[in-house]
A and B are shown apart, each in its own frame.
Chain A
Amino acid sequence: MSVVFEKPKSLTDAVLHYCPGCTHGIIHRLVAEVIDELGIEGETIGVAPVGCAVMAYNYFTCDFVQAAHGRAPAVATGVKRSDPSKIVFTYQGDGDLAAIGTAETVHSAARRENITVIFVNNAIYGMTGGQMAPTTLPGQVTQTSPYGRDVETVGYPVKVCELLSNVDGAAYVERVAVNNVKNIKNAKKAIKKAFQNQIEGKGFSLVEVVSTCPTNWGMTPEKALEWVDEKMLPYYPLGVYKDIYAEEEAK
């Protein structure tokens, strides 16, 4: 018998601090598997966000920097420009990337920085206890929207992939999910492509991963996966939103 599935070597033995059923663990593993498969562990530098994934540096065996809230793409820009031979990725949540860090995200895409951004969207601020995020769905109940998000007063969710698909500098933008085995396999392909783009010098790649927050959504982990299918994916459709090289090849 041979081993067909085991923990990737780019993950440390540290026990993840995430809540039971939190899909951050799956996304960490996918990133680590891609780093393993591409053989770039010694060349990779990650940038951790502020949010639930703030301690990502404990879990990956590659080097890590932890950036101020929302500033991960700016820090990654500095790291990548100071040593372009390194593979630089950021790992950010929606409160980090789509709220306080929107400017850094949009402008690093506009500059076509040769970095990889992993964006974990679970429609809520997880670490601080479940407040409304820019990505919270209309009508969704959170700690700070107890009657559901009212779009008349607080506006509409930010759709990051749709937004960045209109930025000329962005090279590759895709939205994936991790709520079932099929989607996880597709998510891994997208993450691998985002890293390969950087190795080939193709420029800014962002993968948005639709994720869950069972604790703050107030659901069991299994129910949270169903909620992703029922509520999240109709609002945040999966797919490739931009791939300039595929577009060029098609021409």
Chain B
Amino acid sequence: MAKVTFKTDLCKGCSLCVGACPKGIVKLSETKLNAKGHHPAEVTEPEKCIGCAFCATMCPDCVITVER
């Protein structure tokens, strides 16, 4: 069981985490905007997360915290 949390307001929508996720479950939100006006990254199917922290490793802005 793994859990990723996003500090959404820090996200700049660069999508580097999207390309890094081996399970393909990190996506940019199509409906939400954050305070900066970016579409923030989010996890679409949290139950599939393996807690590898690849997304957090690629994130330039320390948006993501990973627990496992």
A→B interface (CB under 8 Å): 1-8, 11, 15-16, 18-26, 29, 180-181, 184-185, 214, 220-222, 225
Contacts and interface: CB of A to CB of B under 8 A. Distances in A.
Contacts of B57: 5, 26, 181, 184-185
B28 to A, nearest CB: 11
A4 B68 contact: yes
B60 A22 contact: yes
A123 to B, nearest CB: 18
A22 B54 CA distance: 17
Interface residues of B, number: 28
B64 interface: yes
A24 B60 contact: yes
Interface of B: 1-3, 10, 12-16, 18-20, 38, 51, 53-54, 56-62, 64-68
A25 B62 contact: yes
Contacts of B59: 25-26
A221 B66 contact: no
A21 to B, nearest CB: 3
A29 B67 contact: no
Ordered nearest first, which 4 A-B pairs have the shortest CB separation? A25-B60, A21-B14, A20-B12, A7-B62
